[in-house]
Structure 1
Amino acid sequence: MAVQVAVCGPRECTEEDRGNARELGRLLAERGAVVICGGYSGVMAAVAAGAREAGGTVVGVLSRDTKEGANPDLTVAIPTGVGEARNNIIVNSGDAVIVVGGSWGTLSELALAMRRGRVPVVQLGGWRILDERGRPVPGIRHAASPEEALELTGLWA
């Protein structure tokens, strides 16, 4: 069975996050991984485009009950009709979770992935989660590049 990597990120993202996501998609496809994402715009569109251009497979888990608005670079679109609850489906589908950028929805995906506790969670850019003393919360692996993000998953060691 193919490795599945959940890539999470905001619909509205920076150009840096867009570039990182696109490169991440390309690198994942080159390694034969299936990309799981939210299936719409922003980081989701960029990771899908990068993977598609490299011949990869991208599954979009959609919040709506139709394919309306789904990114055209998806290989498979799954309309769920469950709204933001689809975030749990996305993170539970990955053998690793990579978060690119930051938003409230992305933060929820990061939190769900950390609660899951069974897979590596890597963050590339975006918001930093700190404890009550201002220290980084343990367990989240921070990457400075798409290449390092893949390395930190440990899936291709």
Structure 2
Amino acid sequence: MRYLILLIVTCCALAASAQKKPMPHGMVYGNKPDTSNIVPANRVEAFMDKKVRISSTVRGKVIRVTKPKGGWFEVDAGNGKIIAAHFRDYNVTTPVELKGKIVLIEGVAQKQFEASGKAKTGIKIDPKRRLTFEVKGLMVEK
């Protein structure tokens, strides 16, 4: 009887310690982002002005992790717009728990344009996904 109780207590203790812990502030994936010049996600497009590509550090809220392997996720850019982000290094795996967290991402932002005229591909880019971001480093802020 003692061994049964000891076994149950041990199993409960192991199960409690195996619970997922919240992601701590400052957790880094890839390279640590440069925090000297940060652009809010809702201002990236205005910050780019007429440029097609820029290198910058962006602060934004992760909407969802679309593919953990390779670090594919979406960041809220305000006004219903989304920044589709992915890591430059495919070996980086982002956890699904990143959803809802405020993050700093450093890398290259790029505008995507709709195919016009008689394009052979006929691919249309969703207007909500006009910006992509190739991430070099990500840091969890909140």
Which TM class, normalised by the smaller chain length?
under 0.3
TM-score of the pair, normalised by structure 2: 0.21
Greater Rg by CA: 2
Q: Name the one with the larger helix percent.
A: 1
TM-score, normalization by structure 1 = 0.20
Higher strand share: 2
